[in-house]
Structure 1
């Protein structure tokens, strides 16, 4: 049924946990897996779940973020390879990760987007936003949300 599945990953514990599920889904359908990891450019003030902010030099920040994004994709690539699932990895830097996710799905001919959701509520949801909700609002593709 599905031939090209997009799996955005941010390297979080939830994304890592969802990797096994999305790989099994791809195997079940004989689908190719495309994974994307998107980071936000400087001068974005990174705020983690702990609420701490770190402001490194712009060049250092961008290099570190690109390396982290590539590492996120490499982990999914290794799991896909071990399972014999065809794989393609994509990284990007953009102020709007959801836009990059939707564009990547379109560019790679994906017919399903599988995302892990943090399930944030209250002020965390208000301030940190929900990339999953933004993807749902801006794509015509089916989106499977894993928690």
Structure 2
């Protein structure tokens, strides 16, 4: 059975990635899903002035909370899944999580911005694709400007 890691950060593009993974499973792909989230590590100041274990527990709890909508989508589909929350730099930590968990591929969402804005958007998804030895599927979230343009075309017809 394939093992697919889906990066989840609570955003709509990440939920698009979850929907894509669920769609693959519903279409007959025999796969289990790993919903993965990465929280930035605490700063040196935070670590020096507060209990590091308390900060880590709070970060993991916050990550699990952000994953709730993704978990609900996967559970509604009846797909097999696990969750994991990591701490660190997002792209490198996601790639490490996928490799450590024996995943066969990664699915990650990105804003589907066009033009100059696309060079500035989706840096985590691009970095995951660059760092990973596994196949990476980037699911683009529609750019609101493109949706408005499409609506204008429909209105003109």
Q: State the partner residue of 1:30.
A: 30
Cα-to-partner distance string for 1:62-86 (whole Å, 9 max, x where unaligned): 6654333102333322221221110
Q: State the partner residue of 1:97.
A: 90
Asked if the contact 2:16/2:139 (under 8 Å) is kept, the reply is: no
Q: State the partner residue of 2:82.
A: 88
* Change over 3 Å in CA distance of 1:43–1:86 after alignment to 2: same
Give the count of matched residue pairs.
131
- Which structure is larger by alpha-carbon Rg, 1 or 2? 2
Query: Any gaps of 5 or more consecutive residues in structure 1?
Result: 45-56
C-alpha separation between the residues in 2 aligned to 1:115 and 1:3?
17
Structure having the larger proportion of residues in helix: 2
TM-score, structure 1 normalization: 0.74
Aligned CA-pair RMSD: 2.8
Asked if the contact 2:6/2:33 (under 8 Å) is kept, the reply is: yes
Q: For 1:1-147, list aligned pairs within 5 A.
A: 3-28=2-27, 29-43=29-43, 65-94=59-88, 96-119=89-112, 121-122=116-117, 125=120, 130-147=123-140
Asked if the contact 1:112/1:143 (under 8 Å) is kept, the reply is: yes
* Change over 3 Å in CA distance of 1:35–1:122 after alignment to 2: same
SS for the counterpart of 1:145 is strand
Query: Any gaps of 5 or more consecutive residues in structure 2?
Result: 141-157
C-alpha separation between the residues in 2 aligned to 1:119 and 1:21?
15
TM-score, structure 2 normalization: 0.70
Q: State the partner residue of 2:150.
A: none
Cα-to-partner distance string for 1:126-147 (whole Å, 9 max, x where unaligned): xx77111111111111111111
